[in-house]
Chain A
Amino acid sequence: MPDYLAGIDIGSTMTKVVIMDNGIISSVMGPTGPEQRRLANKVMEEALRRVNLSFKEITYLVATGYGRINVPFADKQITEITCHAKGAAHFFAEARTIIDIGGQDSKAIKIQDGRPIDFVMNDKCAAGTGRYLEVTADALGIPIEKMGPTALGAKNPAQISNICTVFAEQEVVARLAEGVPLDDLVAGILESLASRISRMVNRLKVEKELVITGGGAKNVGLVTALSEKLGCTARVPPEPLLTGAVGAALLGKDMVGKALKQGLPLEKKERSLREISLY
Chain B
Amino acid sequence: MAEEQKKEERKKRKTATEAASKIGGMVKAAIGGTVRAKEEGKKLAYSFIVCSYDEIIRAMDIVPVWTENYAGICGAKRDAQRFLERAESLGFSRSLCTYALCGLGFDQWREELGEMPPDAPWGGQARPDMMLSSGQILCDPRNKWYQAAQQFMPDVPIYDVGLPWPMYEDDIEVSEIQDYYIAYIVAELRGLVKFLEEQTGRNMDYDRLSDLVDLGEKTWNLIWETYELRRSVPTPMGTGDAMNTMVPMVFMLGTQEGYDFFAELNRELKEKIAKGEGVVPDEKYRLLWGGGLPSWFALTDFNYFNSKGAVFPVETTYRMIEPTYRLNIPDTDDPIERLAWRWLGYWTYWFDKAKKRPGSEPDVERLIQYIEDYQIDGVVMHEAFSCRTWHLGLIWQLNQLKKIYKPIPVLVLGAGDKKSLEHRELPSLILESDIVDISSYSEVDTRARIDAFIETLESTKKSKADQQ
Contacts and interface: CB of A to CB of B under 8 A. Distances in A.
Interface of A: 66, 78-82, 85, 110, 112-113, 115-121, 123-124, 203, 205
A82 B455 contact: yes
B459 A116 contact: yes
A82 B452 contact: yes
B407 A112 contact: yes
Residues of B contacting A: mostly: helix
Contact of B456 (A113, A118, A124, A203): A118
B402 A205 contact: yes
A274 B430 CA distance: 36
A61 to B, nearest CB: 18
Given A78-B455, A79-B451, A82-B452, A117 B427 contact: yes
Given A81-B452, A113-B463, A123-B448, 13 more contacts: A66-B448, A79-B451, A81-B455, A82-B455, A85-B459, A112-B463, A115-B460, A115-B463, A116-B459, A117-B463, A118-B425, A119-B452, A119-B453
B462 interface: yes
22 contacts: A78-B455, A79-B452, A81-B456, A82-B455, A85-B459, A112-B407, A112-B463, A113-B463, A115-B462, A116-B452, A116-B459, A117-B407, A117-B427, A117-B459, A117-B463, A118-B407, A119-B452, A119-B456, A120-B430, A121-B449, A124-B445, A203-B399
B452 A121 contact: yes
A113 B452 CA distance: 17
Contacts of A113: 463, 466
Contact of A117 (B398, B448, B449, B460): B460
Interface in B364-398: 395, 398
A203 B427 CA distance: 13
Nearest to A110: B407
Contact of B395 (A79, A80, A203): A203
A265 B451 CA distance: 24
A90 B442 CA distance: 32
Nearest to B385: A124
A261 B395 CA distance: 42
A117 B452 contact: no
B444 A117 contact: no
Given A119-B452, A121-B452, A82 B444 contact: no
Interface in B438-468: 442, 444-445, 448-449, 451-453, 455-456, 459-460, 462-463, 466
Interface centre among B398, B428, B444, B451 (most CB of A within 10 A): B451
A66 B432 CA distance: 17
Contacts of B463: 112-113, 115, 117
B455 to A, nearest CB: 4
A112 B427 CA distance: 13
A85 B463 CA distance: 14
A112 B464 CA distance: 11
B227 to A, nearest CB: 28
B378 to A, nearest CB: 10
Nearest to A86: B459
B428 A118 contact: yes
Nearest to B378: A118
Contacts of B462: 115
A173 B207 CA distance: 72
Interface pairs A-B: 3 shortest CB-CB: A115-B459, A81-B452, A79-B452
Interface centre among A79, A85, A110 (most CB of B within 10 A): A79
A119 B457 CA distance: 11
Interface string B55-78: 000000000000000000000000
A54 B29 CA distance: 63
